[in-house]
Amino acid sequence: MRYSIWALAIAVGLSACTAPTADSPPRVWQTLSGEAPLVIAHRGANGELPEHTIEAYTLAIEQGADIIEPDLVLTSDGVFVVRHDRYLADSTDIADHPEFADRRRVEDGRDDWWVDDFTLAEVRTLRARQVRPDRPTEFDGLYLIPTFEEVLDLAAVHGVATEPEVKSPSQFIAAGLDPLPELVRILRLRGLDTADAPIAIQCFEPDFLARLNGEIDTPLLMLVFQMQELEPDLDPLIPTVALEDMIAFADGVGPYKALLVDSEGVDTGFIARAHALGLPVHPWTFRDDDPVGDGADIETELRRIYDLGADAVFTDFPATAVRVRDAMAAE
């Protein structure tokens, strides 16, 4: 197991957690490192600002996030820009650009504009918008679409780690744009290809992570969800990749949170099984405005996951996750 981003509690400043009082012993965390869990700003502080913008990442850092998470997609000229999806209509103002009207096309049943049909210069003319209509929209149309390297620059200036996700690599490969060479180039150029680099690369595709594992020593995170989404008759607690299989190429696991706690709010044992294999656990995604199935509010949900030993949490509202973690540290 590589030295990894999940051991960076000291390096990225988790000493900022509220200290226990003189009358109480330090909290014993159930994380692999024994340190307080890390807070990952999922697409930045996107509960408040349009996702995947420098402004959303900056706000997340100001709110105390330890790690910022950019999603990586490729333009037609092979540059990583930061968007959650290949399609652009939901998260940008591209529909307001008549010069791109004839670039709309249908792929896999979706009629949209696709990032790999556009150059970086063209993407730079777009502005970000809030994806969820129940969140603030007054910042729509104000912020640029950043490149991956711009997000890395921001993280370096502020001394926080990054946890980028490579989106849909097999789809980009089918389009003639393999993400791996450009990713490896950037990581090597910036000295982020080592086991102790302040970065971890995540992906839902095990074949891509296995390839990447052969090229660099950067920590790798295998993202998983419920196999039941693909095969409805299966047990809802079966992940898309077994823990025992991913240890050959991954250094940690990022499970959908329903794999950790069942619909009754009961621990499934997933974290304990992962920890027994030496795998840190980074569940996704915790949202103040999206209550869980058993009716728990966000503070209850976060406390439960922290108590179970999650090593980090992905959240759209990093201020809340930091506040709850620090309150627990002080108890």
pLDDT tens profile 261-291: 988 889 999 999 999 999 999 999 999 998 7
Q: What is the mean pLDDT of residues 6-34?
A: 65
Pick the CATH number of 5-85+146-330 from 3.90.1150.200, 1.10.10.410, 3.40.50.620, 3.20.20.190: 3.20.20.190
Q: Report the pLDDT value the prediction gives residue 115, as an integer from 0 to 100.
A: 98
Residue 11 confidence (pLDDT) above 80: no
Q: Report the pLDDT value the prediction gives residue 164, as an integer from 0 to 100.
A: 98
Q: Report the pLDDT value the prediction gives residue 104, as an integer from 0 to 100.
A: 98
* pTM of the complete model: 0.94
183-188's contacts with Cβ under 8 Å and 24+ in sequence apart are: 183/72, 183/80, 183/212, 184/212, 184/215, 184/216, 186/80, 186/148, 186/149, 186/152, 187/216, 187/218, 188/216
Q: What is the mean pLDDT of residues 297-312?
A: 97
Cα–Cα distance for residue pair 74/68, rounded to 1 Å = 19
Residue 173 confidence (pLDDT) above 70: yes
Q: Is 42 a catalytic residue?
A: yes
In the chain, domain spans: 5-85+146-330
Cα–Cα distance for residue pair 291/50, rounded to 1 Å = 21
Q: What is the mean pLDDT of residues 301-309?
A: 97
Q: What is the CA radius of gyration of the chain?
A: 19
Cα–Cα distance for residue pair 315/81, rounded to 1 Å = 21
Residue 114 confidence (pLDDT) above 50: yes
Over the chain, what is the mean pLDDT? Answer: 93
Q: Which of 42, 52, 158, 282 is catalytic?
A: 42
**What does 184-197 look like in DSSP terms, one character per residue?**
HHHHHHTT--STTS
177 near 115, Cβ under 8 Å? Answer: no
Q: What is the mean pLDDT of residues 162-176?
A: 97
What is the β-pairing status of strands 67-69 and 71-74? Answer: unpaired
Q: Which of 52, 84, 97, 158 is catalytic?
A: 84
Q: Which of 194, 189, 172 is nearest to 114 (CA)?
A: 172
Q: Report the pLDDT value the prediction gives residue 70, as an integer from 0 to 100.
A: 98
Cα–Cα distance for residue pair 126/118, rounded to 1 Å = 11
Q: Tokens 């249908």 sit at which residue? A: 106
Q: Report the pLDDT value the prediction gives residue 291, as an integer from 0 to 100.
A: 73
DSSP for residue 138: T
